[in-house]
Amino acid sequence: MKTPVSLSAHERALYARQMRLPEVGEAGQLNIKNAKVLLIGAGGLGSPAALYLVASGVGTIGIADPDKVDLSNLHRQIIHGFDTLGLPKTISAAESLMEINPGAEIILHPEGLTAENALELVSRYDVVVDGADNFATRFLAADACVLAKKPLVHGSVLRGEGQVATFLPNAGCYRCVYPMIPDASSVPTCSEAGVLGATCGVIGSWMAAETLAILLKQRQHSQMFVINVAEGRSQKIAITSDADCPVCGKSPKISEIKAENYQSSVCETSNSSMKESPLEISVTEAHQQLRSDEPPMLIDVRERDEHAIGHVLQAELIPLAELPNQLSKIPKDRQVLIMCHHGGRSMRATQYLRAKGYDLATNIKGGIDAWSQEVDHEIPRY
């Protein structure tokens, strides 16, 4: 198909408000129109991302998702409706997208992203948007993007928080942050922990904005945002290439996509210290440990203004965004407890540390807020 070299009068009228932005204009809108974006997952994150991308004028959108629409999806997966219950999500999503932009080309991949098709599929698109809900698919998408030299926009949600990351070719990748696929049971799913539909909307829309920024050539560096929707806070974390990264480092161990590398079995660990150290404990359990003869290290990953309101005296303040540059302060042979306001940011920090080999890192459930209610009432709540 011949690449369009101009916009029609209809398109100029349709995207007039967007084209008034100096960073867009007609040239930018044409870039958006000519773009091919692969969406992995048409669920809670993929729904708002797809809707805003097609509404912005992206000319070709691929949808890779093997699931069908279920009733429990509808409170957050806004691309679907009651009339599409039981249908493949690819078909349901395509129907909604065509209502918004009949001129877009929607390509369906109902088999989803698999080890067999990942590299070929990713290579066909300009940007990959990952809204997958499982570790295996996230790592598969990330590795395929590195090998195919394609930019990746990643998103995930956990309770009332989420993260959005942009990984550009040769500028740091997903495994630079999370080298190994973690145990699938180490993070609760939406069905286990719950999630607000609006939280998915915020993260999915942010993913769409990052995708458009890539298409408009506004992104020069890889970066990650950790967003606490309930608290109205976000933190930007710079991402750089890790020389020891197993896929983009100086001596990569991953040079091709092999199905066995993305099975649930690779999530299991034989490290006894990991098994002996729980992923999450209560504030009362943490308090008991801190009063023991060999207390763990306590790290507070909140911001400095939050720390000033109130904090646990034993805690060392290392804001989440600064954590990657402060790893030398954290021992690998000692129990490490992580605390934040309510437990979301600290869970992210715990996941990050465990991926970096800190097997004794443990999250404090409920954070300083629960600590104030159950351990030390003199610490102010906010």
DSSP at 88: B
**Known catalytic residue: 176?**
no
Structure tokens at 173: 């990748």
Identity of the amino acid at 243:
A
Query: In angstroms, rounded to a whole number, what is the distance separating the alpha carbons of residues 102 and 274?
Result: 51
Cβ neighbours, 10 Å, residue 73:
22
DSSP at 296: P
Active-site entry in 190, 200, 245, 248: 190
Buried b (16+ CB within 10 A) or exposed e, 352-382: bbbbbebbbbbbbbbbbbbbbeebeeebeee
**Known catalytic residue: 340?**
yes
SS3 call for 60: strand
Query: In angstroms, rounded to a whole number, what is the distance separating the alpha carbons of residues 345 and 133?
Result: 19
Active-site entry in 176, 245, 248, 340: 340
With a CB cutoff of 8 Å and minimum separation 6, the contacts of 32 are 24, 56, 57, 58, 59, 212, 215, 216
Query: In angstroms, rounded to a whole number, what is the distance separating the alpha carbons of residues 365 and 191?
Result: 18
**Beta-bridge partner residues of 91:** none
CB-based contact 38:14 (threshold 8 Å): no
Query: In angstroms, rounded to a whole number, what is the distance separating the alpha carbons of residues 60 and 371?
Result: 50
CB-based contact 319:303 (threshold 8 Å): yes
What length does the chain have? Answer: 382
DSSP at 274: H
Query: In angstroms, rounded to a whole number, what is the distance separating the alpha carbons of residues 248 and 172?
Result: 7
Catalytic residues: 190, 340
